[in-house]
Structure 1
Amino acid sequence: MTSMRPTGEWDGTTFAHEAFLFATDQEVLDRIVPFTVEGLSRGEPVLVVAGKRVRRLLAAELGQDVRRLATFAAAETWWRGGHGTLHAYDRDLRTLRSAAPTWRLVAEPVWLAREDGREWSRFEAVANRCYAAMPYYSLCLHDRRRLPTSVLDAVVRTHPLTWSGHAPVEAAAYEDPTRFLRSVQPEWDARPGHSAVWTVTAPQEARRALAAAVIDGWRERADDVVLATHELLTNALRVAPFVEVAFWTDHETLVVEVADTGPGLPDETRGYVPPAADLAGGRGMWLAWSLADDAAVASSPTGTAIRLYFRR
């Protein structure tokens, strides 16, 4: 008879990221309860951020032990958009890092069931890279009964671990974060013929041109468009003597493209990673991504082009 190993070979020194897909209440209990009890027995902080049904099941099963959890919170209140949610999550992780040598998290991103919450899969992918050295185990719960097939497909591609029934194992469908991001970003079609195009050598040039080009119907997004583009231009002009900026509208979407002839991005995930609090630079892509509604990257050793998408 094989004994259960809730965290497998995890030694508490690095990030472990598991997708647990369930279809019954009993499956939830069979996975979460041993995981939680093991953590409590080892003196590790155990955090639970889950939907109402999962919290009710766990509270009934743990009884008084639920008071020993470091956090027992409603996931329904956590969604602030992809960048806002990750920024708050990142702050909490760094606070934990300063207070505990290791911890474990049970998380149910209930917002994945909503159209506006599905971008979270991108941040799940990036977490594998930006939190690789964080000493915690993240057990992510995903309800097969509520989530569409497309979301479940993204789940298994963004988590390096899955559950075998008695221990976590490597997930066969897991993809490198950059590859996953490229597969879910907007299609990179040729610029339309009506695009406005400028070659600039200083961000101020593009700021003025863009501010003038944002036509009626888009005025409410003008500040976002100009500031996000300025951040990308500032980055691009550090690696190239000039930058090409293109601007066009496509039905309900305004698109800005910033293209340079530099050496390519060292890491295409940077727009999804919160910059460290003490980092003097490196905030440009994060800020630009957070101001836009979507983004796409085409990068190679001969240059980088980034498109930002703004909706009305």
Structure 2
Amino acid sequence: MGTATERTTPPRPDGAWHEAVPYSSAAHLVERLAPRVAAAVSAGDPVVAVLDEPTCVSLRRALGSDSAEVDFQDPFEVHRMPAFTVAVRWARTSRRITNPGGRALVVSQQMEVDRGPLHWARLDIGVNVATAGLPITVLCPVDHDVADLPTVEDTHPLVATADGPEPSKRYRQPEESVVDYPPPPPPGLGPPAAELSFGQDDLIDLRRLVLRVAVMAGLDADRGADLVLAVNELASNSVEHGAGRGRLRMWNGPDVVAEVADHGRMSVPFPGMTIPPPDGARGRGLWLASELADTLEVWSEPGDTVIRVQMRV
């Protein structure tokens, strides 16, 4: 059982709070989480919990009627998305705040999901980028016995201890740590359903092609329009800021995937994850595409950039 200090909810900070929560057993984890989740519910804050089934059951029992106010999400559904997309979606939880001075709370447990060994590190780096300055707390339970604790400490500004949260002595800023956790290469998707080489004069044809594939795939009118706008933003970036020409490829099952590739080199750090500054020369189109699509992934190497957006049907 934990100590009294371990059960104390930390003060509500003004900005982002990203904390690793090591635990030694399921009971220990629920003991650590329940007071903090209950405090957020009592304050009227939005709460998202992504936990394994036994922990969900135990936490619901500990919360009692308060559990009805928690948005419990299926971890396998959440983590089917790329790590940076998950981080952005959690950051958007702050948009659900309705009370003055409110904070969002996200609790996400590290567990076995089929996303590769770098998924958790990239997710936590993404959280540090996407939540910067936002009124949101992200708690990341990690099992003492299976977690790579040095990596956890590298990517979390704070780590829970028996005496309360403490700054991680190993923490590195996202721009530094992400170098050690590169994204996997673009997965092969087979022959595309449609393909188009484009330049400035071809953007009308590009938009028509995207809409045609979206309709064939069964996207409704609003989501089809969103996909057209997202791909148009990416293609316009290729023309205006890249090599002047690019290639569009699309796949239509089971989700709709659009890929824009060119021979330029993207220098925007963490593309599409945060709103660019008003005076920024790059990044607004990527942010808009990220807002419109279900996922956005970027791979950029010298002489080659590939961007994919995906919409679920």
1:232 to 225, 231, 234: 234
In structure 1, how many angstroms separate the alpha carbons of the residues matched to 2:232 and 2:62? 53
Asked if 1:166 corresponds to 2:163, the answer is yes
Mapped contact 1:162–1:168 kept (Cα < 8 A): yes
1:244 Cα deviation from its structure 2 partner: 5.8
Counterpart of 1:4 in structure 2: which amino acid? Answer: T
Aligned to 1:270, what secondary structure does the other structure show?
coil
Mapped contact 1:21–1:143 kept (Cα < 8 A): yes
In structure 2, how many angstroms separate the alpha carbons of the residues matched to 1:68 and 1:187? 43
Asked if 1:82 corresponds to 2:77, the answer is no
Q: CA, structure 1 residues 4+92, in 2 after alignment: closer, same or farther (shift >3 Å)?
A: same
Counterpart of 2:290 in structure 1: which amino acid? Answer: W
1:67 Cα deviation from its structure 2 partner: 1.9
Give unpaired runs (5+ residues) of structure 1.
189-197, 212-219, 249-253
1:297 to 293, 300, 303: 300
Aligned to 1:107, what secondary structure does the other structure show?
strand
Which residue of structure 1 aligns with residue 124 of structure 2?
Answer: 124
1:234 Cα deviation from its structure 2 partner: 1.2
* Within-5 A mapping of 1:97-116: 98-103=98-103, 105=105, 107-109=107-109, 112-116=111-115
Mapped contact 2:233–2:285 kept (Cα < 8 A): no
Give unpaired runs (5+ residues) of structure 2.
187-196, 211-216, 218-223, 250-257, 277-282
In structure 2, how many angstroms separate the alpha carbons of the residues matched to 1:53 and 1:181? 32
TM-score w.r.t. length of structure 2: 0.60
Counterpart of 1:31 in structure 2: which amino acid? Answer: R
Counterpart of 2:114 in structure 1: which amino acid? Answer: E
Which residue of structure 2 aligns with residue 258 of structure 1?
Answer: 262
For the aligned residues, what is the CA RMSD? Answer: 5.1
Percentage of matched positions with identical amino acids: 18
In structure 1, how many angstroms separate the alpha carbons of the residues matched to 2:150 and 2:293? 24
Which residue of structure 2 aligns with residue 17 of structure 1?
Answer: 18
In structure 2, how many angstroms separate the alpha carbons of the residues matched to 1:141 and 1:162? 10
Q: CA, structure 1 residues 296+61, in 2 after alignment: closer, same or farther (shift >3 Å)?
A: same
Aligned to 2:306, what secondary structure does the other structure show?
strand
1:143 Cα deviation from its structure 2 partner: 3.1
* Within-5 A mapping of 1:140-289: 140-144=140-144, 155-182=152-179, 183-186=181-184, 200=199, 204=203, 231-239=233-241, 242-243=243-244, 245=246, 257-260=261-264, 265=267, 267-273=268-274, 281-283=285-287, 286=290
Aligned to 1:132, what secondary structure does the other structure show?
coil
Counterpart of 2:94 in structure 1: which amino acid? Answer: L
Which residue of structure 1 aligns with residue 138 of structure 2?
Answer: 138
1:117-165 CA-to-partner distances (Å, cap 9, x unmatched) read 86465343223233222223222223355x5x56x66544332111122
In structure 2, how many angstroms separate the alpha carbons of the residues matched to 1:40 and 1:29? 15
Mapped contact 2:125–2:177 kept (Cα < 8 A): yes
Mapped contact 2:157–2:171 kept (Cα < 8 A): yes
Mapped contact 2:86–2:123 kept (Cα < 8 A): no
Asked if 1:55 corresponds to 2:53, the answer is no
Mapped contact 1:106–1:138 kept (Cα < 8 A): yes
Which residue of structure 2 aligns with residue 192 of structure 1?
Answer: none
Q: CA, structure 1 residues 144+307, in 2 after alignment: closer, same or farther (shift >3 Å)?
A: farther
Mapped contact 2:198–2:245 kept (Cα < 8 A): yes
